[in-house]
Amino acid sequence: MARLGMRVAGRYRLDRNLSRGRIGEVWLAHDLELGRDVVLKRLAAAGAAGFDRLWAEGRALARFSHPHVVTLYDRVRSKRRGAASWLVMEYVPGGSLDGRPPMPPSLAARLGAEIAGAVAALHAAGIVHCDIKPGNIVVTGDGAAKLADFGAAYRAGDVETISPNGPSSFTPAYAAPEVMQGRPVPESDVFSLGATVYALIAGEAPRRGAPPQQETHPPEGEPRGWDDTDAYVAAREAARASILLEADVGPLAGVLSAMVRPEPADRPDAAGARRLLEQVAGAHEPVPEPVDADGAEPGGPPGSRRRWRPAVAASAAAGAAALVLILAWLNVHGDHPRATAAPTPVPAPVHRADLRGADPCALLDPVSLRGFGRAELDRQYGNFDRCDVIVQPPGDDTEVDVLVDFDLDPPPEGIAPARTVGVVSVVENPEESDTCYRTLVLSGVHDSTVRVIAKRYDPGRAPLCAIADAATATAVDAFNRGPLERRSPPANSLIHQDACTLLTAKALAIVPGVDAADPDPGFGNWDCDWESTTSHMDVSLRFDQGRPPSAEDGTSTRLNGYRAFLIPEGEGDGTCLVQVVYRFYRSLPGGQGAETVRLLVKGDHPVDRLCTVATDLARAATARLPRA
């Protein structure tokens, strides 16, 4: 066993013990060569098994240079007081997330989204972490989350990244059912992350309901002394029960329920979980300090409190007695029960002002559409009044665009609602060959509706109305759960602008017959149309977001310092489009996105004339924009 002040490999001085137990020890140390604090980890297991396990963790960590994964600096062997192997890792001064007081959902979602990004990178390299929990997540001084402790890392598929899989460690309170069976898959980490985010909000791990007819204690009169096999079987049986999301997790109720579904195929993947969590995530804010400070956590200072939770080793080579007990229990109790969420509150009426600030992506869930094919959320597809999920049906069928759209129209006349659920009445519009849509009429809202549309742009076989109905059910459920998640756009976003104010009467005078005082605004005033009564020329100005335009889209020019692209016949014959790049931003799935102003002129005029008018109007509109 190491001791205070000891030097490892002649370079690392052990300054403070952070954790010591039967599986090993972790120390805060000082790198005497580079003059920085580091964390040293040593497993207690001696011989080849302990060496292989530690080196396997080192190989797993060495694969990554990720902002939300603890960095591995070195791995060394010390021959002092017997041969010992150590991992030298980044010291994260904020400590772990274990033992923190309950957090607001927005903060828990932000931390969870950061870890989900790290987990997606792990999965891309063929590694399942297997033991995600608050104690294995540390935070930096500015509150960023980092995933630590890869001692349970498991090689998924045929990717050779760590040593051959042996026993897989897990923490029962956070482990997915398939991990208890010794069959980790990437979605197992999504389950554990969902349980972890819940724990950050509730202040404790989620409770599991007891399986029916299960005896969780020895028979009366029998000695208590369970051995490791008893503990494993009890943990295994507990994991088969439902995760009970009993605490109020606010806008994360649907997200966490999806993440902890019993069947791996029903959960989102790590990238999908990240996108779902980012919809709720708030801005960076301080992480609450631990409740008390009489313990220490690996990777953190002495003030980081760690609550003890049993870590149980399981493997395909478990003892015959344990295997028989597990199989017998599975035969009795059958399939996994479904996860349950907190009781649904009585919904309040929605108001149009609430819709303008709401995030339309809160009404869509890609997981609910995966029965129709691969589904991916696209938050940046068009104007601010919509959100899309792109569904790719199996085979060669054409993709389907499923969108939720806030619409500045009254409820449709002459069509009675097919059903009313809580505060939402659903109108089933007539099916068309390439489109199926439903109109949601909200209680208390008389001048706006919400449309759920499933459409394709090429012939295909996908059942559009079945897809639209699945998306509608998700949207109706979201409205009835309570207030929708709010967006938190930056101050320089076009979402704060009024498209109808960007063209003055003087600017519009170039189009005879236009009444500048009578524009036709769209929802949120994020688009605006002007129609000429004499010149057969119409003007449309709207905001857009998504892929930045490039020279491939049209002729590049500059308008009031903004980069712009002139696109003759950009939306068909008799049109000219000017697309102005207002600001760039980092796109959620990675890469760069752009907010743009789209100025379209259409009419019965030569295209050169239309483009001259479009350019002049775009120049006038950009002159009234605040600098991004």
pLDDT computed for residue 241 by the predictor: 55
Task: Compare 113 and 590 and report the one with higher pLDDT.
Answer: 113
User: Mean per-residue pLDDT for 159-182?
Assistant: 63
Min mean pLDDT across 28-37, 64-73, 469-478 is at 64-73
Query: Does the pLDDT value for residue 349 go beyond 70?
Result: no
Query: Does the pLDDT value for residue 615 go beyond 90?
Result: yes
Quickly list DSSP for 445-492.
Answer: -SS-EEEEEEE-SS---S-HHHHHHHHHHHHHHHHHHSSPPBP---TT
Query: Does the pLDDT value for residue 230 go beyond 60?
Result: no
Give me 121's structure tokens.
Answer: 């990178």
Distance of alpha carbon 601 from alpha carbon 615, whole angstroms: 9
Give me 227's structure tokens.
Answer: 């051995």
Please enumerate in sequence order all residues whose Cβ is within 8 A of that of 528, keeping only pairs 6 or more positions apart, or say none: 499, 500, 502, 503, 519, 520, 521, 522, 540, 541, 542
Min mean pLDDT across 222-236, 465-479, 559-573 is at 222-236
Distance of alpha carbon 55 from alpha carbon 247, whole angstroms: 40
- Most confident option among 111-115, 141-145, 260-264, 589-593: 111-115
Span 386-420, pLDDT tens digits = 999 999 998 878 899 999 999 987 777 778 889 99
Span 590-608, pLDDT tens digits = 578 899 999 999 999 999 9
pLDDT computed for residue 445 by the predictor: 80
Distance of alpha carbon 102 from alpha carbon 204, whole angstroms: 8
Quickly list DSSP for 153-194.
Answer: -EE-TT---SSPP--EEE-TTT--HHHHTT---HHHHHHHHH
User: Mean per-residue pLDDT for 335-349?
Assistant: 35
pTM exceeds 0.85, yes or no: no
Please enumerate in sequence order all residues whose Cβ is within 8 A of that of 262, keeping only pairs 6 or more positions apart, or say none: 177, 242, 335, 336, 337, 338, 339
Give me 275's structure tokens.
Answer: 């996108």
Average per-residue pLDDT for the chain:
78
Q: Do residues 95 and 62 make contact, with C-beta atoms less than 8 angstroms apart?
A: no
Query: Does the pLDDT value for residue 3 go beyond 90?
Result: no
Task: Locate CATH 3.30.200.20 in the chain.
Answer: 7-47+68-90
Instruction: Assign domain 105-333 to a CATH class.
Output: mainly alpha
SS3 378: strand
User: Mean per-residue pLDDT for 90-112?
Assistant: 92
pLDDT computed for residue 259 by the predictor: 94
**Which sequence positions are flagged as catalytic?**
131
User: Mean per-residue pLDDT for 555-580?
Assistant: 94
The number of residues in the chain equals 628
Q: Return the DSSP state at 42.
A: E
Please choose, from the candidates 443, 441, 282, 440, the residue with its C-alpha nearest in 3D space to the C-alpha of residue 364: 440
Q: Do residues 479 and 348 make contact, with C-beta atoms less than 8 angstroms apart?
A: no
pLDDT computed for residue 580 by the predictor: 97
C-alpha separations of 485 from 452, 490, 573 in Å:
18, 16, 40
C-alpha separations of 358 from 280, 494, 521, 610 in Å:
11, 15, 19, 36
Please choose, from the candidates 535, 501, 503, the residue with its C-alpha nearest in 3D space to the C-alpha of residue 609: 535
Task: Compare 214 and 149 and report the one with higher pLDDT.
Answer: 149
Task: Compare 215 and 491 and report the one with higher pLDDT.
Answer: 491
- Most confident option among 99-108, 426-435, 580-589: 99-108
Span 27-39, pLDDT tens digits = 899 999 999 999 9
pLDDT computed for residue 130 by the predictor: 85
Tell me which architecture the domain covering 7-47+68-90 has in CATH. Answer: 2-Layer Sandwich (3.30)
Distance of alpha carbon 53 from alpha carbon 44, whole angstroms: 11
Please choose, from the candidates 121, 105, 102, 408, the residue with its C-alpha nearest in 3D space to the C-alpha of residue 255: 105
pLDDT confidence of 356, banded at 50, 70, 90? Answer: confident
pLDDT computed for residue 62 by the predictor: 55
pLDDT computed for residue 23 by the predictor: 55
pLDDT computed for residue 151 by the predictor: 60
pLDDT confidence of 219, banded at 50, 70, 90? Answer: very low
